[in-house]
Structure 1
Amino acid sequence: MSKDFSYGDDYTYLPATSVNSGAWIEVLPDIYCLTIQIVNICFVKNHKSNHFVLIDAGMPKSADKIIEMTEEHFGKNSRPEAIILTHGHFDHVGALVDLVKHWDVPVYAHKLELPFLTGKKSYPKPDPGVEGGLVAKASAMFPNEPVNLGSSVVELPADGSVPEMPDWRWVHTPGHSPGHISLYRDTDRVLVAGDAFITVKQDSLYKVMVQDREVHGPPRYFTTDWEAAKKSVQTLATLNPAIAVTGHGEPMYEEELTEGLEELVNTFDQTAIPDFGRYVDREQDQ
């Protein structure tokens, strides 16, 4: 495995945080959520082998914390069998290069995300002018250049299966990014949604800090295809998940989740899509 990996030149520590930073939540006996500043990563265990995988890779400069928490909960020198990415935005791959170097494990992502994970292409720039709060306004300072994992990042199987995660399947949920995926287990209706929808109003600094729990559409400042984002939320709602772990905000369960998702589907145009912004205007002009 090549060690010639790199972050984008703009990757740097960001001081953004929330009251849940560092919190380790047991969602189910085999699923754990760890909040890294303002973003969640997940650990999913295999009942049969006791091996585990990591979903997403946190904020820039957070590798030491992720390794520390991994060893605290799974044992010294433990490592995941693989890292699965919902997508490649900076807050989901911020520690990825360091983790892959330390653990020497493969990374899996949707084929449409691979250019952003192999140094070939940057995402469209975040939109600080989009309708939203202070986090949206600060998004111009967020890292946006691609990481480069070379051949260590592998395309997810086309059949929807997830390596090292039996009983799970991946669902293509684009809009927030072209190759965004969510992960679903039919047996108990558990959903790892990434940023397809989230459970905190991510563009509001106050709500990010206090983690006020409510279902919202994807973060506005990074979402570039609102039509696709709406269809993705509709797709996930049809799965009728009983539990959802999202990229931002606290895990949500049963009735609260069902009602929140239903409300989001029914009001998406009014509550999720911003009234103005670079990517909204572009769609309206087409």
Structure 2
Amino acid sequence: MNEKSLLRTGTLDVENVTGDITFVRTLIANVCFVGDPFRGDWVLIDTGLESMTHLLEKEAMERFGRPPKSIILTHGHFDHVGGVMTLSDRFEAPVYAHPLELPFLTGQQDYPLADPAVGGGLMAEISPLYPHKAIDLKNRVHPLPSDGSVPNLPDWRWIHTPGHSPGHISLYREADGALIAGDAFITVRQESALAVISQKMEINGPPAYFTPDWEQAKQSVQKLAALRPQLAVTGHGQPVSGDELVLGLSRLADNFDELAVPEQGRYVDEAGHNEE
């Protein structure tokens, strides 16, 4: 990440993180293109906000000149799947997600209500306005392979990192320590509108207003910290690498209850753990 190029493309921020990882911000949530722009298959990780779908499709086709072979979802929250139906149809690309996330992606189960009581700023206060209803991808969506492999990305594996949602996954490439973490942890204080606007780098736990299981969330962060990743792209905030990542993620894992778990909220008891 020594030679990063940060570009403005309409309202998309596009950053070449490595030769085959492109980070795209769709207002408040991030998307990844994984693959060589000039040859071979590539994969789309998450699809961002629905209002950004046209710009995202345009950017992808200008960059690659061909559709992705598949779409991988880290989870199904509205800001990560907004354009998935449209893009899956236009690209004729299958969608993959963890089996535990499929009920939320096939119209069977809604996500828990957002929790504005976690505090932290305007983004948390207005979180009850965020969509939490299931979408129905019908036969577009398929379960990820049970062996941890990632369709069309042979060098990567998926890791179950629940807490923020039951079937949340992260993607990891051991060869260079690259991690696509989704919302298992993020690099901005997402509860604060000011922090979201400024994009101040700060390694944090998952967005608190949409996290119903804090014990699982802690275990997921500890699992990822144990990998000692060298580069991470998260679902919100800036890419991070090197010591800033390793030390920051280790600190979060070691002090998760103090740094990430809200002092109060619908899904938090007085001890900072889930309500029974």
Shorter-chain TM range is over 0.9
Tell me if the contact between 1:46 and 1:166 (Cα under 8 Å) persists in the aligned partners: no
Name the residue aligned to 2:105.
Answer: 117
Q: Give 1:86-235 correspondences, 5 Å limit.
A: 86-235=74-223
Tell me if the contact between 1:119 and 1:146 (Cα under 8 Å) persists in the aligned partners: yes
Equivalent residue for 2:48, pick from 50, 58, 80 = 58
Tell me if the contact between 1:40 and 1:248 (Cα under 8 Å) persists in the aligned partners: yes
Q: Normalized against structure 2, the TM-score is what?
A: 0.93
The one-letter amino acid paired with 2:181 is: A
Equivalent residue for 1:67, pick from 34, 38, 57 = 57
Q: Which structure 1 residue ranges, 5 or more long, are not aligned?
A: 1-19
2: CA distance, partners of 1:285 / 1:183? 29
The structural deviation recorded for 1:22 is 1.1
The structural deviation recorded for 1:60 is 2.1
Could you say if the C-alpha distance between residues 144 and 285 of structure 1 is closer, same or farther in structure 2, counting changes exceeding 3 Å?
closer
Tell me if the contact between 1:21 and 1:38 (Cα under 8 Å) persists in the aligned partners: no
2: CA distance, partners of 1:152 / 1:72? 24
Equivalent residue for 1:37, pick from 27, 46, 51 = 27
Tell me if the contact between 2:213 and 2:274 (Cα under 8 Å) persists in the aligned partners: no
Give the aligned CA root-mean-square deviation in angstroms: 1.6
The one-letter amino acid paired with 1:129 is: A
1: CA distance, partners of 2:70 / 2:28? 23
Tell me if the contact between 1:220 and 1:273 (Cα under 8 Å) persists in the aligned partners: yes
The structural deviation recorded for 1:71 is 1.5
Equivalent residue for 1:275, pick from 263, 269, 272 = 263
Tell me if the contact between 1:21 and 1:36 (Cα under 8 Å) persists in the aligned partners: yes
- Give the SS at the match of 1:213: coil
Tell me if the contact between 1:169 and 1:184 (Cα under 8 Å) persists in the aligned partners: yes
2: CA distance, partners of 1:131 / 1:265? 21
Name the residue aligned to 2:230.
Answer: 242
The structural deviation recorded for 1:48 is 10
2: CA distance, partners of 1:148 / 1:241? 34
Could you say if the C-alpha distance between residues 132 and 265 of structure 1 is closer, same or farther in structure 2, counting changes exceeding 3 Å?
same
The structural deviation recorded for 1:138 is 0.6
Equivalent residue for 1:85, pick from 50, 73, 77 = 73
Structure 1 residue ranges, 4+ long, deviating more than 6 angstroms after superposition: none
The one-letter amino acid paired with 2:121 is: G
The one-letter amino acid paired with 2:67 is: R
- Give the SS at the match of 1:167: strand
- Give the SS at the match of 1:281: coil
1: CA distance, partners of 2:201 / 2:18? 19
Structure with more of its chain in strand, by fraction: 2
The one-letter amino acid paired with 1:140 is: P
Tell me if the contact between 1:25 and 1:32 (Cα under 8 Å) persists in the aligned partners: yes
Equivalent residue for 1:254, pick from 209, 223, 242 = 242
Q: Normalized against structure 1, the TM-score is what?
A: 0.90
Q: Which structure 2 residue ranges, 5 or more long, are not aligned?
A: 1-9
